[in-house]
Amino acid sequence: MQSTSAMFAKGMKDILPVAAAGIVDGIVFGLLARQAGLGIAEAMLFSLLVTAASSQFAAVGLISQGIVGWPILVSTALLNARHLLYGLALGPHFRGRPLWKLALMGTALNDETYALKATYLERGGNPSIAYVVGAGTTDYFIWNGSTLIGAWFGAAFTQTETYGLDFAFIATFLGFLALNLLSSFHLKVAVCASAVACVGYVLAGSTAAVIAGTLTAIVIGAVSGER
């Protein structure tokens, strides 16, 4: 078993190729935050405190439509509910570890660090909290650094529609969707959730669409024996 600091350093290094791919996302987030009317400080506060790309994108999308209030909190909760899944998958590997260490690991848990850790465990690596926290540290610096770059130059972009940047939110989420279509069952769930979401969207708008669609997916998953 390697030392804690060695595992921390290994985590910091192993996440690099994954986290580097997020640089563009961070820059685009910074740009869109400025386009939505936020200042550099507010854009940075999102990345420094929330540190969850997809929910930050959704929040800024709502703010750009003039919605500042509970719909942002609802979309944040729903989008980040996938972390419950990561906790659920990783928890059993960390039986009996002190809660404060798990609380620290919780801060570092995100799409990238989960994907890295799950792959690492599958290859027979030992369950190291330091490894996850190291990976999360690199990820944190890259995400915040790229947000700052985007936010800094964000005000210079004026014709976002010409550059197709108004599609950036949806395109990012389609990327997330693509990564999550793991089987034909997932595809069927996606089709059902989309159908219900469309009804919600037409009747009551985008927040209702996300709530209705997500609940549909959860219910189908829970009642179905299939994986």
Partner 1 sequence: MNEKIVWIILLSALITYLTKFPMLAISSRWEVPAWLRRGLAMVPVGVFSSMTIPPILFHVRDGAWSPEFLVAGAVSLAVGLWRKQIVWALVAGVLVTALYRLVF
Residues 143-182 that bind partner 1 (CB under 8 A): 161-168, 170-181
- Write down the least CB distance from residue 197 to partner 1, Å: 3
210 closest CA partner among 84, 80, 113: 80
Residue choice 6, 9, 149, 219 for contact with partner 1 (CB under 8 A)? 219
Please count the other Cβ atoms lying within 10 Å of the Cβ belonging to residue 13: 12
Interactions with partner 1, residue window 50-69 (CB under 8 A): 50-52, 54-55, 58-59, 63, 68-69
Closer residue to partner 1, CB minimum distance, 106 or 145:
106
Verify binding: residue 124, partner 1, rule CB under 8 A. Answer: no
Verify binding: residue 85, partner 1, rule CB under 8 A. Answer: yes
Exposed/middle/buried for 113, CB within 10 Å: 0-12, 13-18, 19+? buried
Judged by CB under 8 A, the stretch of 1-9, 118-126, 150-158, 201-209 that binds partner 1 is 201-209
202 closest CA partner among 217, 212, 187: 212
44 closest CA partner among 146, 170, 134, 166: 146
Q: Are 63 and 75 in contact (CB under 8 A)?
A: no
- Write down the least CB distance from residue 177 to partner 1, Å: 4
Number of residues engaging partner 1 in binding (CB under 8 A): 101
